[in-house]
Amino acid sequence: MPSSYSLVIASSQGQKRREIRLELAEDAWHGRFQAMGSPCELVCEAKKRHEALELTELVAGEAWRIEDKFSRYRAGNVVHRINTAGGRAVEVDDETADLLDFAVTLYNLSERRFDITSGVLRRAWHFDGGDRVPSENIVSDVLRLVGWHRADWRRPFLQMPSGMEIDLGGIGKEYAVDRCAGLLREQGSSACLVNFGGDLAVSRAPEGRRSWKVAVEGDAEGEPAHLIDLKQGALATSGDARRYLLKDGIRYSHILDPMTGWPVPDAPRSITIAADTCVEAGMMSTLAMLKGAQAEPFLRAQDVVFWCRR
């Protein structure tokens, strides 16, 4: 068997071309594809190419399903229906309702700072490393459309004032990672690592090496990456290595406080968390980011494994 082998399969899904690239490197198969705006990868210890391909297809299929269903950029999906309901109630399916219930829990746990209706703030803020800090007026205009307390959620019906939108982007990727890891475990497949743009979970510990080695990217200033051994569980990173604004010497993080419409002051540059599931890791890192200067004390009080960059 060649040490590096690459296979491309392509399929047409709507207008978007989707492909899986399979490669053998360092004794493991790497199935790569693009989903949810991120490079995604399944690393598996499968012996045979066809097995690795089947597993990658399984994972990519689930990632694309979740992307199609919950992306706010796709017309016709449930999020699109909610965001264009014009004040009418929308009935949602069980999976969507589960995600909304979960979002409500986070909204309450974060004292209203984790808010799936805050996505519209992106109309005011463009975190591209530039210096376009919006005016107070623009921010307060958009802020009138933010606030989960304005939504009326009675499972399975969601009704929001016209113009308000939800964005499940803050949960979707982590949810997809855990769903995929769960499918792989159900399959009883070889040891796999599901990695969607740096948020990742293990299906089980690899046989040979006993742990997955994961490099957590350093920040823009060339700080060396952390190398983490992951045997079980998941890792997720919230960070703004590239997503920030810099004006008059002030760095504005991309973590917005929906209460003020402005970036959370003194938020760490990035927080990586290890937890049982990618959803917990991702949500905990977001909750910590929202704590700003108090992120580290908050995380220590949770007794979680974390790596914080300032």
Partner 1 sequence: MSQKETHSISVALAAATCTLLGSGISATVDAQEEPAWDFNTSLLYYGEDGDRVKDFSVSAIARRMFIDDRYLTLGLTIDGLTGATPSGAIRQDVAQTFTRPSGNAAYSVAAGVLPLDDTFKDTRLALTAGWQQPVGDTSQVSVGASASKEYDYLHLGVNAKFARDFNQRNTTVSAGIALSMDSLDPVGGAPAPFSPMLDVGDTSNRLGDQDKDVLDIVLGVSQVISRDLVVQANYSYSKSDGYLTDPYKVLSLVDGTSGDTLLRSIAPGVDGPSHQFLFESRPGERTKHSIFGQAKYYMNGKVLDASYRYMSDDWEIDSHTVDLRYRIPFGANRYLEPHLRFYTQTDAEFYRLSIPDSLPLPGHASADYRLGNFDAITAGLKYGWRTHNDNEMSVRIEGYRQTGSVPADQLIGNQVSRDNFPDLNAIIVQFGYRF
Residue (231 or 242) nearer to partner 1, CB? 231
Structure tokens at 121: 């703030």
By the rule CB under 8 A, 228 interacts with partner 1: yes
CA separation for the pair 295, 273 (Å, rounded): 12
Site string for partner 1, 81-110 (x = CB under 8 A): -----------------xx-xx--xx--x-
257 binds partner 1 (CB under 8 A): no
232 counts as binding partner 1 under rule CB under 8 A: yes
Q: Which two tokens stand for residue 234?
A: 């998941």
**Residue 177 neighbours by CB under 8 Å, 6+ apart:** 194, 195, 196, 199, 200, 201, 234, 278
> With contact defined as beta carbons under 8 Å apart, do 189 and 180 qualify?
no
| Stretch in the footprint of partner 1 (CB under 8 A) among 10-18, 68-76, 245-253, 291-299 | 291-299
Query: What amino acid occupies position 120?
Result: V
Q: How far is the CB of 109 from partner 1 (least distance, A)?
A: 5
- Residues 259, 121 contacting (CB under 8 angstroms): no
Of the candidate residues 59, 78, 236, 284, the single one contacting partner 1 (CB under 8 A): 284
Diameter of the chain measured on Cα atoms? 63
Helix (H, G, I), strand (E, B) or coil at 57: helix
Nearer to partner 1, 7 or 304 (CB): 304
The whole-angstrom separation of Cα 297 and Cα 33 is 37
Cβ at position 7, least distance to partner 1 in Å? 29
Among 47, 132, 150, 210, binds partner 1 (CB under 8 A): 210
Cα→Cα distances 119→156, 185, 199, 310, Å: 22, 33, 20, 25
How many whole angstroms separate alpha carbon 307 and alpha carbon 310? 10
Locate tokens 């990632």: which residue?
63
167 binds partner 1 (CB under 8 A): no
In the complex, least distance from residue 148 CB atom to partner 1, rounded to whole angstroms: 15
Of the pair 251, 300, the CB lying nearest partner 1 is at 300
Kindly state the number of chain residues that form the binding site for partner 1, as judged by CB under 8 A.
49
Identify whether the C-beta of residue 281 lies closer than 8 Å to the C-beta of residue 271.
no
**Residue type present at position 131:** D
Q: Is 271 in the site for partner 1 (CB under 8 A)?
A: no
Rg (Cα) of the chain, in Å, rounded? Answer: 20
Contact at 8 Å (CB) between 117 and 151? yes
Report the residue number, 133 or 228, with the smaller CB distance to partner 1: 228
Nearer to partner 1, 79 or 99 (CB): 99
The three-state secondary structure class of 255 is coil
Tell the smallest beta-carbon distance from residue 176 to partner 1 (Å).
11
Selected from 120, 235, 267, 271, the binder of partner 1 by CB under 8 A is 235
Task: Specify the residue, 7 or 228, whose C-beta has the smaller distance to partner 1.
Answer: 228
202 contributes a contact to partner 1 by CB under 8 A: yes
Positions in the binding site for partner 1 (CB under 8 A): 98-99, 101-102, 105-106, 109, 175, 178-179, 182, 185-186, 202, 204-205, 210-211, 213, 226-235, 274-277, 279-280, 283-284, 287, 296-298, 300-305, 307-308
